[in-house]
Amino acid sequence: KAGVTQTPRYLIKTRGQQVTLSCSPISGHRSVSWYQQTPGQGLQFLFEYFSETQRNKGNFPGRFSGRQFSNSRSEMNVSTLELGDSALYLCASSSGADTDTDTQYFGPGTRLTVL
């Protein structure tokens, strides 16, 4: 099976702009979770989508949003970019069927740099 794919792999934006990142999960997986990784804060959960519905949300401002399509592909959007949004954005895919034992597999990430 193909793994989780994320596009683009690298992005450079300026403050105030917005950005959209894309994630395609492993075939058959219905849950997609997004994480932000920075040197200072580590890996932090942004949100999870399952069957096109947001099932969980982390403690991030409303500038961070996402959605999931009927084919389970997901996008996340960050509006009004700030310098502190520079990070590695990781998408993780899982079956979503049983949260007791569900396992998340990460994509390669999108490296976002805000200037």
Partner 1 sequence: QKEVEQNSGPLSVPEGAIASLNCTYSDRVSQSFFWYRQYSGKSPELIMSIYSNGDKEDGRFTAQLNKASQYVSLLIRDSQPSDSATYLCAVNDNAGNMLTFGGGTRLMVKP
Q: Beta 10-13 vs 110-114: how paired, if at all? A: parallel
* Binding test (CB under 8 A) with partner 1, winner from 23, 48, 72, 81: 48
Q: Which residues contact 71 (CB under 8 A, 6 or more apart)?
A: none
Length reported for the chain:
115
* Binding test (CB under 8 A) with partner 1, winner from 12, 99, 113, 115: 99
**CA–CA gap between residue 71 and residue 61 (Å, rounded):** 27
* Binding test (CB under 8 A) with partner 1, winner from 50, 72, 112, 114: 50
Query: How many residues line the site for partner 1 (CB under 8 A)?
Result: 28
Point out which residues bind partner 1 (CB under 8 A). Answer: 31, 33, 35, 42-45, 48, 50, 55-56, 58, 88, 90, 92, 94, 96, 99-109
